[in-house]
Amino acid sequence: MVFLLGLLLFSWLVSSILYIPFIRLLYKWRMQRLHQKTLDAFDKHTPIFDRFHETKAGTPVGGGVLIIAVTTILFPLAVLLMHYFWLPITAVYPIASEIKILLFTFISFGALGLLDDIKKTFGGISPTFFGLRLRHKLLLEIVLAGIISFLLIYNLKIDIFYVPLFGVMRLGWWYIPFATLVIISFANAFNITDGLDGLAPGLLMIALAAFWIISASILDTPLSVFIAIWLGSLIAFLYFNIYPARIFLGDVGALSFGATMAVVGLILGKAPALVVIGGVFVIEVTSSFVQLLSKRFLHKKAFSVAPFHLWLQYNGWPEPKIVMRMWVVSIILAIFGLWIAMLTKVPAV
């Protein structure tokens, strides 16, 4: 644990040093949130959202790139250092395969998000779509999540998850569509939640702390190392992302972090606990999904506006108040999810 805490602090320090020049670099590259006048020219109208967030136009987008880069570099180096200095490394699964799956998820969904960010910022806007077309984006997400799900069952032999009061459930090859759905759902849930300064990164920080405890309890060293480094870099980012934000994650961070959080939960065999620990993300994506279905089939809105955090803002809640209270709710959900996860440990497979 001493080594893990040291990794967290080192990752935080490296990221903290790099973020100021990185923000300047994003300004230089003009990777910034577009002004509404620019979006209006391409028929991109979101009146309620724009009312609350027009002042954020011009803020750099793409903060997730640095977190992905720092974590991707430090993670394998840390594991190699542990091996070189004879520090104990224990794992539930084959170490090399676990590392590859975590990094593949982290990088591949990040690359997809970065492509979307670039298309939104540099001419990827048309009168009919903003950034990547939704169906193209969803198709790529399905392909990536399907590959990851296959690797989970083929390389790590994971086809189970623990259901409280019912025990361990084995899905066999049905695990692939199940895991694919979980990964895609959390990738998009994170993306939807990332709409207020500090909201999604703060929620993720709380969730990762809970997963860190679980991974340490089953002595999964690679996963514990990965979470420690990711958490340290995320804390550094959050310093610059709290209200008023100096930098945004962008889709590059949102898609990557949501998908990877799901994979962490799946590796731990704690899908139900994942839903509870990431409960605020679930509420956010559910509110948007209900709104979409209501407009599609009932031809009316279920809510005045969605997702849930925007509905609170629409009803007069100040942005910092929404963020702080959602953090508090997330802490309670994380403790509850941690309790559920600890009821029975999933046996190694």
What is the rounded CA–CA span in Å between residue 131 and residue 142? Answer: 18
Amino acid at the residue 274: L
Which one-letter amino acid corresponds to residue 322? I
| Residue with the two structure tokens 């500090």 | 198
Q: What is the pLDDT of residue 141?
A: 97
Question: DSSP label at 155?
Answer: T
Compute the distance between CA of residue 164 and CA of residue 343 in angstroms, rounded to an integer: 7
* Cα–Cα distance measured from residue 347 to residue 58, given in angstroms and rounded to the nearest whole number: 50
Concatenate the DSSP letters of all residues of 299-346 into one string: SS-SSSSSSHHHHHHHTT--HHHHHHHHHHHHHHHHHHHHHHHHHSPP
**Number of Cα atoms under 13 Å in the Cβ half of residue 200:** 30
Residue the block writes with tokens 């990777």: 31
- Compute the distance between CA of residue 32 and CA of residue 320 in angstroms, rounded to an integer: 22
Tokens representing 117 are: 């960010």
Q: What are the φ and ψ backbone dihedral angles of 26, each rounded to 5 degrees?
A: -65, -40
From CA 14, how far away is CA 289, in angstroms rounded? 38
Burial class (CB in 10 A: 0-12, 13-18, 19+), 79: buried
Q: What is the pLDDT of residue 45?
A: 53
* Rounded-to-integer distance, Cα 296 and Cα 286, Å: 15
Give 10-residue mean pLDDT values along the chain (349 residues).
92 97 93 62 57 78 96 96 87 93 97 91 54 86 97 92 76 94 97 95 97 92 96 97 94 97 93 93 95 89 90 93 98 94 58
Identify residue 337 by its one-letter amino acid code.
G
So what's the pLDDT on residue 152? 96
Count of Cβ atoms closer than 10 Å to residue 219 Cβ: 14
What gap in Å lies between CA 329 and CA 327, rounded to an integer?
Answer: 5
